[in-house]
Amino acid sequence: MDDPSSYGRDARGAAATYARLAADRAETLTRAAALSREFDGIVAANALVAIDDEHDPEGGSTAFERAHVAALLARAREHLEELDQALERVERGQYGKCAGCGGTIPPERLEIRPATALCVRCARSDPRRSP
């Protein structure tokens, strides 16, 4: 793997970081497209038959399945937005700088959460975000 100490701090590190984020974005787009097709399939299948969703002999309810796929799709879309913002930060030379306090995000955090915009301290202080 790339040297995490160079994330966004020099041309080679920025190029490697950009490539990693772009690859993650492509994978996430593929996953979002598959989830969207799956969701559409669930909706279409339910429209064709009268299903007693609460007493499905197959086990889990189709409402749960639909909600589960919808949640996964929403998370994939959120991740795409985070990746787009991270790619912009790389282009501006701001990748690895905390959007909350302006400090440096540790390379270990960027290795685990490459799209993050916050250091651990700022992520913990924002209840809407997970560390």
pLDDT for 102-120, tens place per residue?
Answer: 999 999 999 999 999 999 9
Q: How many CB atoms lie within 10 A of CB 109?
A: 19
Question: Count of CB atoms within 10 A of residue 98's CB?
Answer: 20
**pLDDT score of 57:** 59
- Tell me, what's the pLDDT at 4? 41
Which tops the pLDDT comparison, 26 or 128?
26
Residue 22 scores a pLDDT above 50: yes
Residue reference for tokens 């589960």: 68
For residue 62, the surrounding DSSP H or E stretch is helix 62-92
**pLDDT tens digits, 36-92:** 999 999 888 877 665 555 555 555 578 889 999 999 999 999 999 999 999 999 999
pTM score: 0.77
Please, what is the angle between helix 62-92 and helix 11-48, to 10°? 160
